[in-house]
Structure formats: structure tokens, C-alpha cells
Amino acid sequence: MSDKLIAIFGYNSKSFELITQLNIHKNKFTILDHDPLKIQQALNNGLTAKKMDYRRDDDLTSLGIGTHIDTLFCYLEHDSENVFLVLSARALDKKLKIISIVNQPESAEKLIAAGANKIIDPYEICSHKTHQLLTKPDISWLLDDTIFSHADLNMSEITIPEKSILENTFTSELNLNERYNLFLVGVVDKELGEKLYFSLGEQDHKLDAGDILVILGAQQDIKKFKKEIGVTH
């Protein structure tokens, strides 16, 4: 069981999978929402939940932000709400790890400027793999030294298209750091199933169309890489 205390603002379809995974792995977390009906639903599902107004600093302080909350997930329905929450939480705790979902791409810069350490694009990577990356011991150094210290990093799932230059190559040949300033977190090798194989200390993988690369890096570098390997969307 993790000793970290996690606060999740927003009980909705976008946070359900994250909450499920945190619960399975016995993380200590509390769900917050300003809608009493959603809080009651969470309580009925056996979760720790509390009605809270994210706009009140006193409530955030009483929750433990600035003292014993280690990580804050911002999953409120609207980007403007998440920006306000990030601003308030960052003012209370300069060292707090803040991860926020982004609903509209143009809101990403606002969330980063407000103080978010990491932005999650729900169309790029699902909450299940986000949880894997947050809890994988082998890459804890990466989280501390890169994700939570550089606000311009993004995490992206890239499916290798047909007739890509990557077909029939190996992960060891990618050299993403040198060529694109990117980091390969892992690969979903379709020949081996749906498991995410982490690149640190694991076997080399032959790449085929349909395999999925999980990449960390700046958005502009990710776009450049996608273009060069033939991803058109």
C-alpha cells in the first residue's frame, strides 16, 4: 500500500478509470466534488468522498493541501474550473504534484502557467496507463527528474501506421533521445498482446504496424516524430 495521500477533484466518466486503478492498488485517496449527488454516488460505491467547493482556500487547506496531500488530480468538468483549482493549490503548496486533465487543447498552456506539473490529454493516453506510469518503481527517477520538473512534457500513445519507416525495425534502434529529444516509455507489441512493455531494463521489440509506442516529450517534438513516421492525424 502506498503511503502517498492523493486528492482527486471531479467524480465523472473521465476520472472513473483512474479511481478504479488507484483503488485496486490500494492507494490512499479522497474524491472531492461540489455536486452532492456525485459525492453520494461515490460513497454508495464504497469510496472515500467529500463535498467541497474548490474555490475556497480554507477548504483546500483543511483537506491537507500544504501539509499531507502529496498529489492532486484535477478532473473537474471544465478547464476553467481546473485552472482555478491549480492556481489555488499551487499558491498553497509549491511542491505539490498537480496533474490536470485538459478538455480543450488551447487550455493546456493556461494549466501549465497556473502551476500544473503534468497535463493529461484523454485522447492521447488513458488513465490506466497514466496510473502505471505513476506507480512503476523502475521509472520513479524519471517522474521526479522530468515529468514533475518540466512543465512542457507530454505523454502520447503513437500507433505505428502501415508502411511506416519503423516497420521491421527494433526499439533499440529508435534513438529517440538523440534524434527527436523524446523518451520511449514503452511499447505495446501487438504480437505479444495488450501489455505495455516498459523500455527500462526490458527486452528489445521488433516493431510492426499496429504496435503502440508510449512517448514522453515536448508537444512539438512529438508532432515532428509523428510526421516523420507517417502518422497523419
Give 193-210 pLDDT, tens digit per residue: 766 676 654 567 889 999
Centroid of chain to Cα 116: 11
Q: How far is CA 185 from CA 3, 78, 118, 145, 217, in A?
A: 25, 29, 16, 14, 10
Q: Which residue has the cell 521526479?
A: 144
pLDDT at 169: 92
Question: Are 164 and 212 contacting, i.e. CB atoms less than 8 angstroms apart?
Answer: no
Question: Are 25 and 131 contacting, i.e. CB atoms less than 8 angstroms apart?
Answer: yes
Q: Which residue positions in the chain have pLDDT lower than 50?
A: 1-2, 126-128, 137-151, 201
Residues 100, 200: Cα–Cα separation, whole Å = 26
pLDDT at 118: 87
| Gyration radius (Cα) of the chain, Å | 19
Three-state DSSP at 164 gives coil
Q: How far is CA 112 from CA 124, 152, 155, 185, in A?
A: 17, 8, 14, 22
**pTM (two decimals):** 0.56
pLDDT at 147: 46
Helix axes 127-135, 16-24, angle to 10 degrees: 40
pLDDT tens per residue across span 24-62:
778 899 999 999 999 999 999 999 999 998 888 999 999
pLDDT at 109: 86
In the chain, the domains with their CATH numbers are 5-151 (3.40.50.720), 154-228 (3.30.70.1450)
